[in-house]
Structure 1
Amino acid sequence: MSDHYLNETQQRQIEAWLQEPMARSEWPTWLLIAAIYGAWLALILLSPSLGLLVSAPLLALVSAWHLSLQHELIHGHPTRSTRLNHLLGMPPLSLWYPVGVYRTSHLLHHRDELLTLPGVDPESNYVSQADWERAGPWMRFVWVARKTALGRFLLGPGLAIVQTWRDALSQLARGQGHALRDWLPHWLLVAALLWFVDRFSAFSAWQYLLLVAYPALSLAMERSHYEHRAALQPQHRIVINEAGWFMRLLFLNNNYHLVHHDLPRLPWYLIPRVYRAHRAAYLERCSGFVQPGYAAQALRYAWTPTDAAVHPIEAALLARVERQP
């Protein structure tokens, strides 16, 4: 691991942590995998006794946790085998898209010099000036609404699902084989999962979709609600959210998002250690882009947009990218 912003002593410290038995065995991630799939199965089987009012929010939490696990698997944990990590993340607890599609999109997002650029960064929460000018009043309202915490929770998943499925259909129509390789196994797994849910739980397939799968994606998208902002320097675009223990566990410490972007191969359980060791440097590195927790963030931006829907410095960022060798 070699990173220009870390001095030699800091690099050696992180390398030493990666050689510890915990990191070498990856037992925290293996335990996490067992906990998530075990909790999901237990809640499904116990849901007739627990009832929908109890089991639905718990299943939504576990399914959102599973999305965080998929993120960890994408970044090379707990094994060095991409294929095995992929298989570990394939069960579609939140249903909406294959882990392979998420992997392709998310790794593109890690081109930090392109962060936030609409149409380039697949996880951008901005729209381009050109798209804004072409859009009608309803679409403009939706784009502004998704910059609020409430709009992100209610509308964000729907927008993401529609865009993902639209891209998939376009790829399939063009005969791109990789799309079928991702989506066909996913559809088969979704059908099997919904049959299992309908047969052994208190949920019908539609109830699972509406009461578990959609809220799970809503929860996951609250993490990324104000995860990036428009700024000239890439590191100034990435947040540090000093969340409490519960949200840190739910999001597997991805709240320390600048640490993750700087060290994307660092396992989730070492991210807080790196952050605590270099907190002052990270707060300076993100140029004050710090949130005090997700509850405070949600309250502050419940009905108020975090910032503009249209990317405010799109032209300047594109010019910087074009000048790079």
Structure 2
Amino acid sequence: MQEKSLPRAAALAPSPIWWRRWELPTWGVMLAIYACWFALVWFHASIPWPLLMLGGAYVLAWHFSLQHEAIHGWRSIPRWLRTALVWPPIGGWLPFELYKRSHTAHHRNTVLTYPGEDTESVYHRQADWSGYSRPWRAVLLFNQTLLGRLTVGPILRLRKLVLIEFGKLRAGDFRDVPIWLGFFAGLAVVLGVVSGIAGMPVWQYYLIFVLPGLSLGLLRAFIEHRWGPTPGERTASVESNWVFGLLFLWNNLHIVHHLYPQMAWFEIPGFWRRHRERLLAHNGHYVFPGYFDIARRWLLKPVFVPAHPAR
């Protein structure tokens, strides 16, 4: 399907309704995230650990979604302000500046899924895949199941970050050192609140909040992209409920986001409903009714072998 058959960008003009124009839903989400985070940390000793883990994971994944919104949207406020509002590293593992740089590169739709070019690709070059040991291929295939993505996925993601960042240092590239110094300074403040004020051990915060939060974020990314002959066919949509929709700020309707990345998150569901058939024709009907359907299909089965068909 040709791009001209898609809704025009003019359809994204700012709404005359004042609360939409000033993006008050985004402000509400921001306040809810930080309030819920502080409450969970402050009352951690009174909350059963399964509920604490569920709440902590949701809040940190929600914060990551807010950071994503600040990269693309929230244009009613200056860039420096929206950066400052989402910068606090409560997620505990990735500086916002590095995420912004990597994710912006990911939005070059013509290279989506290409290993070495798409910064968020899970594919590997065929020559690399053939050279991997059987145990390593088994690990990567397990990561292509939903169970694997939620369990070993966070470890593999952290491993990738460490390899990339230490690779820069070994190559004599120290340009990101100030970013990391700022990150660790902010993280020290966050962990000071967590441990020094609220009395929650740091190891517990990472075990109950950070790793489950990263895992929950990987749920959204699990099905988002696949190889396809055209860029449009490489991006999925998951028609989930409000629990996941709010968590991911409707980025689960991912084809809308890749076509119109500056669209405010709260405009996406209505836009999807109005133009669903045209969007599905564009992405080759790469759509799922929800995450439970995805779990039913791929909980223990690889969604695809991550050797890129074209590379």
- The normalised TM-score by structure 2 is 0.94
Sequence identity, in percent?
Answer: 35
Distance 1:12 1:309 in 2: 38
- Give the letter for the 1:14 counterpart: L
Q: Which has the higher contact order (CA 8 A, sep 6+)?
A: 2
SS at match of 1:187: helix
Q: What does 1:109-128 align with in structure 2 at a 5 Å threshold?
A: 109-128=106-125
Out of 206, 211, 215, the residue aligned to residue 218 of structure 1 is 215
Q: Provide closer, same or farther for how the CA distance between residues 313 and 303 of structure 1 changes in structure 2, counting only shifts above 3 A.
A: same
Match of 1:319 in 2: none
The yes-or-no answer on 1:241 pairing with 2:269 is no
Counterpart CA distance in 1 for 2:30 and 2:20 is 15
1:201 maps to which residue? 198
Determine if the alignment matches structure 1 residue 230 to structure 2 residue 207: no
| Structure 2 residue 32 is matched with structure 1 residue 14 | no
Residues 1-325 of structure 1 mapped to structure 2, 5 A cutoff? 4-6=4-6, 10-15=8-13, 17-201=14-198, 203-314=200-311
Measure, in 2, the Cα distance between the counterparts of 1:240 and 1:84.
Answer: 30
Give the unaligned 5+ runs of structure 2: none
Shift of 1:11: 4.2
Change (3 A) 1:259 1:31: same
Consecutive unaligned residues of structure 1, counting only runs of 5 or more, are 315-325
TM-score computed with the length of structure 1 as normaliser? 0.90
Alpha-carbon distance in structure 2 between the residues aligned to 1:233 and 1:19:
36
Q: 1:6 to 1:18 in 2, by over 3 A?
A: farther
Q: Measured at CA, do residues 11 and 110 of structure 1 come closer, stay the same or move farther in structure 2, by a change above 3 Å? A: closer
Quote the offset at 1:305 in angstroms.
0.6
* Amino acid aligned to 2:251: N
Q: Number of aligned residue pairs: give it.
A: 309
After TM superposition, the structure 1 stretch with the greater mean CA deviation from structure 2, 155-164 or 190-199, is 190-199
Matched residue type, 1:303: L
Alpha-carbon offset, residue 51 of structure 1: 4.0
Q: Amino acid of the residue matched to residue 192 of structure 1?
A: V
Distance in 2 between residues matched to 1:78 and 1:157, nearest whole Å: 31
Q: Is the 8 A contact 2:53 2:212 kept in 1?
A: no
Offset, 1:175: 4.4
- Corresponding residue SS for 1:163: helix
